[in-house]
Amino acid sequence: MKKGILIIVVLVLFISCEGKAPITAKVDVAKETSDINNVLNTWHKNADETNFEAYFTAMTNNSVFVGTDATEVWGLQEFKDFSKPYFDNGSAWSFNPIDRNVYIDEEGKIAWFDELLATWMGVCRGSGVLKSTDTVWKIEHYVLSLTVPNDNMNEVLKVNKVKDAVFLKKYNY
């Protein structure tokens, strides 16, 4: 009887296992974070130096860039089309990282970040997602946002209410 119960317990434990192989190698967070910082710093530098091809090579084919205006949500080709005249004229944009936080998933395949940037618009916030390929991290999604000091929020809200009314009317909202 005891052998039967033991066999049943072993079978139940065996059946309840997920069948995933344990992860034997830990992600080297320091190395991956350094690589990600390098990708993002180089990406910003390539915009500043108007290196069009290098700038867009850092992004995946499915990447999305979300700008500061509510209408600015671009896929890769749309963003290239929008950006090309700025790069061709030698005056893209200069976003200089001030501070950045990087987070990496347990498998080392996806990373997300937030950063503060010194820009012509003042301090902005960038945030996004990177995806690891076999050899390099690539930008999958990027969001650029203006930062607004809390003490100035009422002034900004007045401006946005007028602008938002026009925007929302366009969407019948």
Residue 31 CA to residue 36 CA, distance in Å, equals: 9
Query: What's the pLDDT score for residue 14?
Result: 44
Query: What's the pLDDT score for residue 12?
Result: 43
Query: Letter for the amino acid at 70?
Result: A
Query: What's the pLDDT score for residue 26?
Result: 82
Query: What's the pLDDT score for residue 22?
Result: 47
Task: Point out which residues pair with 59 in neighbouring strands.
Answer: 139
Give the residue ranges of the chain where pLDDT is below 50: 5-7, 9-14, 20-24
Topology (CATH level 3) of domain 26-170? Nuclear Transport Factor 2; Chain: A, (3.10.450)
> Edge to edge, what strands does the sheet with 73-75 contain?
73-75, 59-66, 137-146, 122-132, 110-119, 96-104
Query: What's the pLDDT score for residue 3?
Result: 59
Query: What's the pLDDT score for residue 10?
Result: 41
Query: What's the pLDDT score for residue 116?
Result: 98
Query: What's the pLDDT score for residue 88?
Result: 97
Query: What's the pLDDT score for residue 4?
Result: 53
